Every structure is written in structure tokens, then in C-alpha cells.
Amino acid sequence: MSQEFVIRLAGEALYTVLKASAPMLIVALVVGLTISIFQATTQIQEQTLAFVPKIVAVLLSILLFGPWIMTTLVDFTTNLFNNLPTFVG
């Protein structure tokens, strides 16, 4: 296993993790920003008002994007296992 292979594999793994987590992170960011604007406008400083809707939004985004995330992870794993024997040796 060469050094280039390990570096390329680590890069692909990092890209896959970022790609798979991006939908939840973007949804949490948008919901958090919206709630922060609402809190600043109404001057309500309740912590659960910011926390609970983000959890619900992230869970809904997992349900919505779950099949795509699973496909992305399965494609990465399949590609890894198919190309691993050519580099080990």
C-alpha cells in the first residue's frame, strides 16, 4: 500500500463524510439562524426555543435525506472494497 493511496483514500473518506453530513448541517444552520433572528426581534431568550426546533429539523432532514446518505456511503464502501485488492500487495 503506497503513501499516495493512503492520502487519496483519506481525502475521499473526508469528502464523503462532509458530503453525507452537509444536509443536516445546512438545515441546522438555517433553522438556528431563523430562530436567532426571531429571538432577537422578540427579545425572548429561552434556550429551549433554539435547541428543540434544531433537533426536530435535523431529525426530519435525516428522514428526508437518509436514502441519499446511505447510497453515498454504500458507493464509497463498494468503491473502497473493489479497489483495495489492486493496491494491496
Whether 89 maps to a domain, the answer reads no
How many domains are contained in the chain? 1
Full residue range of the structural domain in which residue 73 is found: 3-83
Exposed e or buried b for every residue in 13-30, given b needs 16+ CB within 10 A?
eeebeeebeebbeebbee
The tens digit of pLDDT for each residue in 16-62 reads 999 999 999 999 999 999 998 998 898 888 877 888 999 999 999 99
- CA–CA separation, 55 vs 38, rounded Å? 17
pTM over 0.85: no
Q: Which pLDDT belongs to residue 88?
A: 63
Whether 46 maps to a domain, the answer reads yes
